Structure formats: C-alpha cells, structure tokens
Amino acid sequence: MFEKFFPDDYVASTYVIPFEKLYEQGYRGVIFDIDNTLVPHGAPADERAKKLFARLSDIGFSSCLISNNQEARVKMFNRDIGTDYIYNAHKPSTKNYIKAMEIMGTDRTNTVFVGDQLFTDVWGAKRTGIPNILVRPIHPKEEIQIVLKRYLEKIVLHFYKKRLKNRKN
C-alpha cells in the first residue's frame, strides 16, 4: 500500500551521498530539492552547499534545483551556486522533473533525484521514473503544512524500514 512512496535509497544527509560512485555507475545529472535537503528552510547557500556543487562540477555532473518555492527564494539560494533551477515546480507533478532533465541533457537512466520529502520529492521522482534518494531533513523548523506531512511520512518510513529489515533476514 505504501510502496509507491518508498525511496530507492535513504541516507542521513545529502552530504554523505557518494557522488563519485554514482558517476562511476553512469549517472550524469542530479536534481535537488533545496529546503531541508541542502540547507535549513529559507537559508542561503552555506559553505557546505557551495563545496558540494563545486565537487559535482569537478566530477562531471550536471545539476538542477527544482523547488516548489517562488523564484525569489530559489534565486537567493542559487546566487553563490550558479546551477540551473526551476521554481514553483508543483512537485510531485512530473512536468518539471522532465524539464530539469531536458535542461541538463540527461534522461531517466542517468539522472538521480535528492530530496527530503516523501510525498512531493520522492513520489514525483518515482512517478517520473527517476532513481531517488531520500535524505533526513536538515532542521526540524518547518512550515506547518510540512510538519503535518511529516507525521504521515513517519508511518510510511516505518513500513519502509520494516521491509528493509525483512529483506536482510
């Protein structure tokens, strides 16, 4: 019942993802959510985010941000990053995941998505057919509508973790 929301991978942080390994596996594009994936909600790009995008470029990755936020927020974050972006993306709609791949010159086979929310980020990527990585939110302070979704996410993640445990046994 909840499987359609299960992430392909679930890690503690964007900053522990082995992007070099993903590149070796043939991935060439990374689509990112911003808030609570790369920085706390509403924050500008910090040194860690700037270093990550420099590292991705050095590896050979194309990148694109897709956010449900308005342009002012996305532009403010991206000022020191300088990657492509799509704002007001209406995730989990598949339209802008596809647009991000077109911008990067990638496709479903060589693009990975990284985000912190199951019902927008991960579900949109899954509906688009893109491998996805769920990360734990960076900071607990969030808008009320996201706080409410987090309660439902806990239920889905309970069954996700249970399935992983059963596969190991």
| pLDDT, tens digit, 9 for 90 and up, residues 9-47 | 999 999 999 999 999 999 999 999 999 999 998 999 999
Question: Which CATH number fits the domain that encloses residue 123?
Answer: 3.40.50.1000
pLDDT grade for 143, boundaries at 50, 70 and 90: low
Report the 10 Å Cβ neighbour count for 121.
Answer: 28
pLDDT band for position 145 (cuts 50, 70, 90): low
Q: What domain range includes position 152?
A: 3-168
- Structural domain tally of the chain? 1
pTM of the model as a whole: 0.88
- Letter for the amino acid at 63? S
